[in-house]
């Protein structure tokens, strides 16, 4: 749009974004001052937030005042401005104007996921706009505006002779944004009215596999259409759909059904392995062993085959484990260390100490930088320390810090390396060990304990409770790494529900998200109060396997937004207030809540099934 329409734009000006986290009452005066100022991006943002706040207070006319022609000034949220206009008219009780706004949203912005809101407004079971017959608003509209232009009446009639039930609107939604929550709701509604629609059931499989209750629909889909074909003799349920169905059953802990679904998915090593693993989780060890053996025959060189051999060893008594472990040692170098450690422990069970010692020695000689070698060395160090041999314990952990400094065990081993070095009078080695833990594992418990040992002012077990701290949480949200411009704008404006709905409409690769997509989804989970899922999504980014994914993860990890998501501060205001009254360190309170419940009020219900 021309500069004179857009006004002066400065994306780095975050004046309004800093107000996004405040309550409507706190920010109204500042927003109004900006909203009546010169045209700018900030003015558009301020007017939008004022309108949103007015709608939240059911003040429809006030909202309409701020929304007037706002889409021309603030085009990045044009579709959502029309959405808010429709909602505002509903609060004024002007049904005709509300319907016109919904219609505009569907027709003008029909290719954008936000149009799903209009489709839902017209087609939901409780829609006030559903009528037995089409009724045009054109005559009334035309008579008020163009009554003197009779030749235009036919065109106006055609323009406004509108029905949201025309198939084109629904077909466009299913093509462009089938994962939008409003479309999902309409799909569920249609299936309730007419259950025999496998194409709609498949959409639920693809986009709601992680939602409660979806497997009830999938049970019907699998039982009624699992072996059916369409009029072109193609399977109704395609292999990629079976993968989504399997994942849905897995997440619902229906492992036998998950295994059967993986059996119908594309024949890949991963699917074969997961099918066998599901049988193992389903407490069907015989069937699981047969599935693993079939998998290693069909995919003898796949990386998942090493995992299958390891699981076969787990399912066998000690006397029968060794051949499977030897297969891994001989053929899969990436998993050989893990298999060697298991073999050594098995040989100990079989009362073969010399052979076990040879396996351990081979492990530390040939796979010194492996997690398995680090685990074994740490075990040896602990045993030496328990026997009072601090020098041997200290020597045992040095290879961990040298060969595997980023492993999980390294944070603990590094701290105790420093403690033992201190006891041995090796001050420089102790200081170096503590600093290494802090450098490589800054987020860990042992980094804090290392800082205490270095004399840093971080509090200790005695003083931490009463430490006085001022928390400076960022006032502006970070820009999302992926998503449309509208999505990023809504997120930074703190419009979490609208942004979350839009994200679900845009995020259609849920089975195999990219690293930035997973991080973005984690941010939204946190914004919506799903802290357990959100923290987990951010935390498991480090588990990505490919070099490209690891590179993307490292880039995200360097940003403050990553650490703020991994260690969020919900309920900050009340925690600060209550902590101050009780003379308790607020960071200690937040840390304990995160550790014990992930900020979930119903954590016991969430975790009991896993236990």
Question: What CA–CA distance (Å, rounded) separates 32 from 529?
Answer: 30
Task: Check whether residue 37 and residue 92 sit in a common domain.
Answer: yes
Q: Is there a domain that residue 161 lies in?
A: yes
76-127 residue pLDDT tens: 999 999 999 999 999 999 999 999 999 999 999 999 999 999 999 999 998 8
Q: Is there a domain that residue 296 lies in?
A: no
Lowest mean pLDDT among 12-21, 417-426, 432-441, 514-523: 12-21
Task: Check whether residue 104 and residue 11 sit in a common domain.
Answer: yes
Q: Is there a domain that residue 110 lies in?
A: yes
The pLDDT of residue 160 is 55
457-492 residue pLDDT tens: 888 778 878 777 777 788 899 999 999 999 999 999
For residue 199, CA distances in Å to 59, 221, 242, 257 come to: 41, 10, 13, 20
Task: Check whether residue 438 and residue 528 sit in a common domain.
Answer: no
Task: Check whether residue 336 and residue 433 sit in a common domain.
Answer: no
**pLDDT band with cut points at 50, 70 and 90 for residue 598:** confident
The pLDDT of residue 611 is 32
Task: Check whether residue 572 and residue 525 sit in a common domain.
Answer: yes
Task: Check whether residue 355 and residue 491 sit in a common domain.
Answer: no
Q: 87-91 contacts: CB < 8 A, separation 24 or more?
A: 87/55, 87/60, 87/63, 88/51, 88/54, 88/55, 88/60, 88/61, 88/63, 88/64, 89/60, 89/64, 90/60, 91/55, 91/58, 91/59, 91/60, 91/63
Last residue of a domain, one of 125, 140, 175: 175
Report DSSP state, residue 13: -
Task: Check whether residue 495 and residue 455 sit in a common domain.
Answer: no
Task: Check whether residue 164 and residue 17 sit in a common domain.
Answer: yes
Place of tokens 């600060």: 576
Q: Residues 147-159: what's their mean pLDDT? A: 48
- Host domain of residue 540: 485-607
Q: Is there a domain that residue 415 lies in?
A: yes
Asked if 312 and 293 touch (Cβ cutoff 8 Å), the reply is yes
The pLDDT of residue 22 is 92
Lowest mean pLDDT among 15-29, 143-157, 351-365: 143-157
pLDDT surpasses 80 at 180: yes
The CA-to-CA distance between both ends of the chain, in Å, stands at: 57
Task: Check whether residue 24 and residue 87 sit in a common domain.
Answer: yes
Q: What is the mean pLDDT of the chain?
A: 89
Task: Check whether residue 408 and residue 550 sit in a common domain.
Answer: no
Q: Is there a domain that residue 573 lies in?
A: yes
Question: What CA–CA distance (Å, rounded) separates 533 from 502?
Answer: 19
Task: Check whether residue 22 and residue 166 sit in a common domain.
Answer: yes
The pLDDT of residue 584 is 85
Last residue of a domain, one of 469, 494, 526: 469
Q: Residues 60-81: what's their mean pLDDT? A: 96
- Assign residue 159 the CATH number of its domain: 1.25.40
**pLDDT band with cut points at 50, 70 and 90 for residue 606:** low
Q: Is there a domain that residue 232 lies in?
A: no
Report phi then psi at 545, rounded to 5: -100, -40
The pLDDT of residue 76 is 97
**pLDDT band with cut points at 50, 70 and 90 for residue 231:** confident
Bridge partners, 235 (sequence order): 229
pLDDT surpasses 50 at 132: yes
Residues 6 or more apart whose Cβ sits within 8 Å of residue 368: 399, 403, 404
Residue 81, class by beta-carbon neighbours within 10 Å (0-12 exposed, 13-18 middle, 19+ buried)?
A: buried
514-567 residue pLDDT tens: 999 999 999 999 999 999 999 999 999 999 989 999 999 999 999 999 999 999
The pLDDT of residue 597 is 82
Q: Is there a domain that residue 308 lies in?
A: no
pLDDT surpasses 80 at 149: no
The pLDDT of residue 609 is 40
Last residue of a domain, one of 175, 208, 238: 175
Q: Is there a domain that residue 240 lies in?
A: no
* The two three-digit tokens of residue 296, written as one number: 């290693």
Report the predicted TM-score, pTM, of the whole model to 2 decimal places.
0.87
User: How many structural domains comprise the chain?
Assistant: 4
- Assign residue 448 the CATH number of its domain: 1.25.40.10
The pLDDT of residue 610 is 36
Task: Check whether residue 21 and residue 166 sit in a common domain.
Answer: yes
**pLDDT band with cut points at 50, 70 and 90 for residue 604:** low
């Amino acid at each position: 749009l021309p500069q004179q329409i857009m006004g002066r734009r400065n994306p780095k000006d975050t004046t309004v974004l800093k107000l996004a986290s405040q309550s409507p009452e706190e920010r109204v005066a500042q927003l109004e001052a900006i909203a009546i100022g010169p045209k700018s991006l900030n003015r558009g943002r301020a007017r939008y937030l004022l309108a949103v706040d007015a709608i939240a207070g059911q003040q429809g006319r006030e909202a309409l005042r701020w929304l007037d022609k706002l889409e021309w000034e603030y085009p990045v949220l044009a579709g959502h401005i029309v959405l808010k206009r429709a909602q505002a008219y509903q609060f004024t009780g002007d049904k005709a104007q509300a319907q016109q706004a919904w219609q505009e949203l569907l027709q003008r912005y029909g290719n954008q996921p936000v149009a799903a809101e209009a489709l839902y407004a017209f087609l939901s079971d409780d829609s006030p706009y559903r009528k037995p017959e089409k009724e045009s608003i054109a005559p009334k509209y035309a008579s008020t505006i163009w009554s003197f232009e009779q030749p235009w009446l036919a065109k106006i009639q055609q323009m406004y002779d509108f029905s949201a039930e025309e198939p084109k609107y629904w077909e466009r939604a299913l093509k462009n944004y089938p994962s939008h929550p409003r479309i999902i709701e309409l799909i569920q509604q249609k299936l309730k009215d007419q259950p025999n629609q496998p194409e709609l059931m498949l959409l639920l499989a693809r986009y709601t596999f992680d939602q409660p209750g979806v497997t009830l629909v999938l049970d019907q889909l699998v039982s009624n259409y699992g072996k059916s074909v369409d009029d072109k003799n193609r399977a109704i349920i395609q292999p990629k759909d079976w993968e989504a169905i399997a994942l849905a059953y897995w997440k619902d802990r229906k492992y036998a059904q998950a295994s059967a679904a993986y059996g119908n998915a594309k024949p890949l090593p991963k699917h074969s392995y997961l099918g066998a693993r599901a049988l193992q989780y389903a407490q069907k060890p015989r069937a699981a062993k047969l599935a693993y053996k079939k998998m290693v025959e069909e995919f003898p060189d796949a990386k998942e085959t090493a995992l299958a051999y390891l699981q076969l060893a787990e399912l066998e008594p000690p006397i029968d484990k060794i051949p499977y472990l030897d297969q891994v040692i001989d053929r899969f170098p990436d998993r050989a260390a893990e298999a060697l450690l298991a073999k050594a422990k098995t040989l100990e069970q079989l009362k073969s100490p010399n052979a076990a010692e040879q396996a351990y020695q081979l492990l530390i000689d040939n796979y010194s930088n492996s997690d398995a070698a680090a685990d074994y060395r740490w075990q040896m160090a602990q045993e030496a320390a328990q026997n009072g041999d601090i020098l041997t314990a200290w020597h045992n952990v040095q290879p961990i810090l040298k060969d595997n400094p980023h492993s999980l065990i390294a944070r603990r081993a590094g701290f105790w390396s420093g403690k033992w070095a201190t006891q041995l009078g090796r001050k420089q080695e102790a200081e170096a060990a503590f600093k290494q833990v802090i450098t490589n594992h800054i987020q860990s418990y042992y980094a804090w304990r290392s800082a205490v040992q270095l004399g840093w002012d971080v509090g200790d077990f005695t003083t931490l409770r009463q430490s006085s701290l001022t928390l400076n949480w960022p006032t502006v949200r970070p820009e999302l790494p992926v998503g449309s411009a509208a999505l990023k704008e809504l997120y930074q404006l703190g419009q979490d529900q609208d942004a979350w709905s839009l994200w679900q409409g845009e995020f259609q690769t849920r089975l195999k998200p990219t690293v930035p997509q997973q991080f973005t989804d984690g941010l939204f989970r946190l914004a919506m109060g799903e802290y357990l899922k959100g923290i987990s999504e951010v935390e498991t980014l480090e588990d990505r396997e490919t070099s490209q994914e690891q590179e993307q993860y490292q880039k995200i990890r360097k940003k403050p937004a990553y650490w703020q998501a991994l260690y969020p501060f919900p309920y900050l205001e009340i925690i600060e207030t209550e902590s101050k009254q009780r003379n308790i360190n607020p960071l200690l309170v937040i840390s304990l809540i995160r550790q014990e419940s992930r900020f979930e009020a119903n954590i016991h219900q969430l975790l009991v099934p896993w236990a």
